[in-house]
Structure 1
Amino acid sequence: MAFARVFNRKALRSLSLIFIGIICVFFVLWDTGSNKRSTSHIRVPQQFSIDLPGCLAIISKDSGGKKSELEVLLASRTRMERKSETYYLNVTKDCPAYIEKRRFFTVPLSKEEKDFPIAYSMVIHEKIEMFERLLRALYTPQNLYCVHVDPKSSEEFQNAVKAIVSCFPNVFVATRLESVVYASWSRVQADLNCMKDLLNSHVRWRYMLNTCGTDFPIKTNREMVETLKALRGRNSMESEATNDYKAGRWQYHHNVTDTVIRTDLRKSPPPISSPMFSGNAYFVVSRAFVEHVIRDKEVQNLIEWERDTYSPDEHLWATLQRMPSVPGSMPANSKYDASDMQALARVVKWSHLAGDVGKGAPYPHCTGTYRRNVCVYGAGELPWLLRQHHLIANKFDPEIDDIAMRCLESFLRFKALGHDTLLPQ
């Protein structure tokens, strides 16, 4: 009897463990299945599917078998009609229908992405459709998006932005808006305003990227997360030793009206012990970097000193990146200089640098057109762009070449949903 009781207890314990094991396996399988369901039910917009064959021919530089699709795609190179502010004011009256119609992602596409939210500052002033397409390309529900709208923008544009933003709990208009003047302090202040707002959010984002209205991503959100994780807390941006010409931008006081005007009055030396560096307006920075910039007294002194310089966005961030006290920074030694082509933040083609790569040029000529000496990408840039390690590219304009944007939209959407086998490696 005693043996039977012991046996029964052992058998019951074994059966219990087996039952618990089955339950655990069930939940693992259910969770795996739910992850699959979270992406498998997401449809690729019809236009993306229609564009993909022709886009793949452009990206792979192989039109064989896709000649007809390519001809159809190329025939729609420029946009004849744009979605207006009125369109967005009307379509966003029913937010669920708008989100469904425009195919925004409504769930994280992987646990890795869910656990690594990214924050964005988006500084815009015109072209509502371009903004919405950029937002859609970057959007996932776990990320956070601060939209800075120039108050000089038309009332219709501002209202349309507010209408779009109102449909998403993780997208908001900055609490303080700046009237942005090209090459003035106001461009930096716009990003600083978003930095403060992003830090005040309950979302514990890990990295921050800043964007403008002519940007477009060349990586999926998952690829961005993988890249940012690999940084291990470091920042990535252009930061190089400066020359005498660029040094003049911060050595003299400047007055700001509707333009920035240099005076003959020399400024005092920078209020930091480390040297000044040159870079550009774009950055990839850790949360610790942003917290330090907003709260550190030495950084605040530098910010105050920078306010009357020319194009401070092209030397403030680059200088902070080389200050030893700043989280994620690099040493000031020339060994750590990083050009825009080496940094992750932004890939840009400058007209004066483009040329024959075989003869030493950093990149080939623009297939679109140049604006302020910067390439507005054409579809011919896509094979080159998708080989770059950068996260975002600048500039795009659907009125110049809509195919470049449509193909990136199709390519990134298919890749994000795991259809890598369809895409050229």
Structure 2
Amino acid sequence: MATPRWAAPFLFSLLFGLFLRLLRPPAHAYRHLALPAGANLSCGGVLDSDPEALERARLYSLRRRRPVTEMDYLRLARDCSSFVGGRRYLTAPLSRRERSFPLAYSMVIHESVEMFERLLRAVYAPQNIYCVHVDRKSPGHLHAAVRAVAACFPNVFVAARLESVTYASWSRVQADLNCMEELLAAPVAWRYLINVCGKDFPLGSNRETVEALWAMNGTNVVDSYVPPSFKAARWKFHHEVGDYVRRTSQLKAPPPIRGRMFVGSAYVMVTRDFVRYLFIDPEVRAFFEWSRDTYSPDEHIWATLQGLPGAPGSLPGRLLPHPGSPNKLSRAVKWSFLGGDVARGAAYPPCAGRYRHMVCVFGAGDLAWLVHQSPLFANKFDPEVSDAAVRCLEEWVRDRALQGAGIRP
């Protein structure tokens, strides 16, 4: 009998598929990289809003907790192999797409080496690159501990130029710019840059972040909305910077840009071309110089540039109705003035943790809401407020990373 024409390519495809499957590690090979939260927590129950699990999580976070100190990290990081393995870092790309789509991170922190390291572990992938900016005025032992952690990874480094950061001042933007400039010069062909602070945490795996940014097709992820009238005073008046930012009565010249001003989040996901544009475009450089004496420039610079015609990856006209919009892209946040009874029109349930500067520091009871949000990151987390919230989110994110590891394209 003659062999059908389709048989040879079919057999080749079958054999080649079997060959690839032999090259891939079996799913159980990754089980040792799981991050179980511990016997005292039922994170599955927490994510299902089970009352008993939530009560156990509340009691877990209330108990006297020994914080992980800078000295602990200095001791642990003396043996990098043991540190990386013991902390269960992912040391190989888990999919081909992740390998071909590296990311860059600018991480700006000023306290808590523990929260920084837990964030780093959650977003770490060996093909990515990470710049860490530590506030110059932070204690020396924090600087030493962060440098010790960074030294255990070839793709993590502390910024060469450190700023003394004052809340709501230009120094916060400059810290990111310092990292951006070094990341552009690094020998990693990263595709998108993500800036985070030490209280952020991802709401998905590196693979999910890559897939979401791949789908953006070269456009930026920047929240942008028309500023309410009261926010215009932030850039209409000259501000002086000391221990805090103080508004003066001196009026500023109009902004030196072709477009109008917008406001949005200080946290963005932007293309490599956009980051390069920040350092070479004269209009952007003039806008930066003009913004140096404004209040909280990080909340208008990225949003305004996103609407500027000709900015790489920009989408002029894509605006949010207000900062509490459920369609926001940058961060899942609970503001005190928008939380409450959803049945009566509140944007989301109240904070289960603790409000700090009108922003929720999440508790375990917030996780069931968080894991259904569209942003790729959430803010704020603090193990001193709810270690259970951080542990359960760590477990959930790692489980998502390991689902299909070595199998997905």
C-alpha distance in structure 1 between counterparts of 2:263 and 2:279, whole Å: 21
> In 1, Cα distance between the equivalents of 2:28 and 2:307?
41
- Matched residues in 2 for 1:73 and 1:103: separation? 26
CA contact (8 A) 1:78 1:398 kept: no
Letter of the 1:202 counterpart: P
Aligned pair partner of 2:65 in 52, 65, 80: 80
Among 237, 245, 248, the alignment partner of 2:230 is 245
Listed as ranges, the gaps of 5+ residues in structure 2 are none
Deviation at 1:337, TM superposition (A): 7.9
CA offset at residue 263 of structure 1? 1.1
Name 1:380's counterpart in structure 2: 365
Task: For 1:242 and 1:134, locate their aligned partners in 2 and report how far apart those are by CA, in whole Å.
Answer: 31
Deviations 1:312-366 (A, max 9, x none): 0011111011101111212247689886632321111110111222222211110
Q: Which residue of 2 aligns with 1:234?
A: 219
Q: More displaced, 38-47 or 168-177?
A: 38-47
Match of 1:368 in 2: 353
Of 269, 274, 279, 2:264 maps to 279
Give 1:32's aligned amino acid. R
The partner residue of 1:31 within 3, 20, 23 is: 20
CA distance in 2, matches of 1:77, 1:289: 44
State the Cα distance separating 1:36 from its structure 2 match: 2.9
Deviation readout 1:252-294 (Å, 9 max, x if unpaired): 1111111111111111000011000011211111112111112
TM-score w.r.t. length of structure 1: 0.87
2:45 maps to amino acid: A
Cα offset, 1:295, TM superposition: 1.5
1:43 aligned counterpart, secondary structure: helix
In 1, distance between residues paired with 2:343 and 2:57? 33
Cα pair distance change 1:113/1:78, threshold 3 Å: farther
User: Which residue among 100, 105, 124 is the counterpart of 2:109?
Assistant: 124
Match of 2:248 in 1: 263
Taking the TM superposition and a 5 Å limit, the aligned residue runs for 1:93-242 are: 93-242=78-227
Q: Match for residue 47 of structure 2?
A: 59
Cα distance between partner residues in 2 of 1:336 and 1:372: 23
Which of 31, 35, 40 matches 2:29? 40
Q: Could you say what secondary structure the match of 2:385 adopts?
A: helix
Query: Which whole-Å CA distance do the structure 2 matches of 1:267 and 1:377 have between them?
Result: 39
Runs of 4 or more, structure 1, over 4 Å off, are 18-28, 67-70, 76-79, 332-340
CA distance in 2, matches of 1:225, 1:335: 23
The answer to whether the 8 A contact 2:224-2:319 is kept is no
Q: Deviations over 1:182-204 (max 9, x none)?
A: 00000000011111111111111
Q: Which amino acid aligns with 1:370?
A: Y
Q: 1:417 aligns with which of 373, 391, 402?
A: 402
Check conservation: 1:55, 1:70, Cα contact below 8 A: no
User: 1:70, CA displacement in angstroms?
Assistant: 6.9
The residue identity in structure 1 corresponding to 2:303 is: A
Do the aligned partners of residues 72 and 255 (structure 1) sit closer, same or farther apart at CA in structure 2, a change above 3 Å counting? closer
Deviation at 1:237, TM superposition (A): 2.0
In structure 2, what is the equivalent of residue 10 of structure 1?
A: none
Pairwise CA RMSD:
2.6
Q: Would the aligned equivalents of 1:274 and 1:332 in 2 still touch at CA under 8 Å? A: no
* Distance in 1, Cα, partners of 2:324 & 2:302: 13
Runs of 5+ in structure 1 lacking a partner?
A: 1-13, 421-425
Show CA shifts across 1:47-72 (max 9, x none).
436467x1101111246xxx589737
Distance 1:378 1:294 in 2: 40
Cα separation, partners in 2 of 1:70 and 1:107, compared to 1, 3 Å: farther
Larger Rg: 1
Larger relative helix fraction? 1
Bigger shift: 139-148 or 67-76?
Answer: 67-76
Distance 1:27 1:419, change over 3 A: closer
Q: Residues 92 and 156 of structure 1: is their aligned pair in 2 closer, same or farther, counting only changes over 3 Å?
A: same
The 3-state SS of whatever aligns with 2:25 is helix
Write the distance in 2 (CA, Å) between the matches of 1:273 and 1:323: 7
| Aligned-residue offset at 1:163 | 0.2
Overall identity of the aligned pairs, in %: 49
**CA displacement, residues 15-68 of structure 1 (integer Å, 9 cap, x when unaligned):** xxx99999986665343333334872451456436467x1101111246xxx58
Q: Which residue of 2 aligns with 1:317?
A: 302
Q: How far apart are the structure 1 equivalents of 2:277 and 2:113?
A: 33
Alignment coverage as a number of residue pairs: 400
Instruction: Find the residue that maps to 1:75 and give its secondary structure.
Output: helix
Distance in 1 separating the partners of 2:306 and 2:189? 22
Q: Which amino acid aligns with 1:43?
A: H
Distance in 2 (CA, whole Å) between partners of 1:185 and 1:38 is 47
| TM-score, normalised relative to structure 2 | 0.91
The change in CA–CA distance for 1:334 and 1:398 in structure 2 (over 3 A counts) is: closer
Say which is worse superposed, 296-305 or 235-244, in terms of deviation: 235-244
Asked if the contact 1:84–1:128 (Cα under 8 Å) also holds between the matched residues in 2, the reply is yes
Q: Who is 1:3 aligned against?
A: none
Residue type of the alignment partner of 1:235: N
Deviation at 1:230, TM superposition (A): 1.1
User: Larger relative contact order (C-alpha < 8 A, sep ≥ 6)?
Assistant: 2
Q: Is the 8 A contact 1:44 1:414 kept in 2?
A: no
User: Counterpart of 2:335?
Assistant: 350
C-alpha contact 2:167 2:244 (8 A) present in aligned 1: yes
Spell out, residue by residue over 1:121-157, the C-alpha distance to the aligned partner (whole angstroms, 9 max, x if none). 1000111111100100111111111100111111111
Give 2:289's aligned amino acid. E
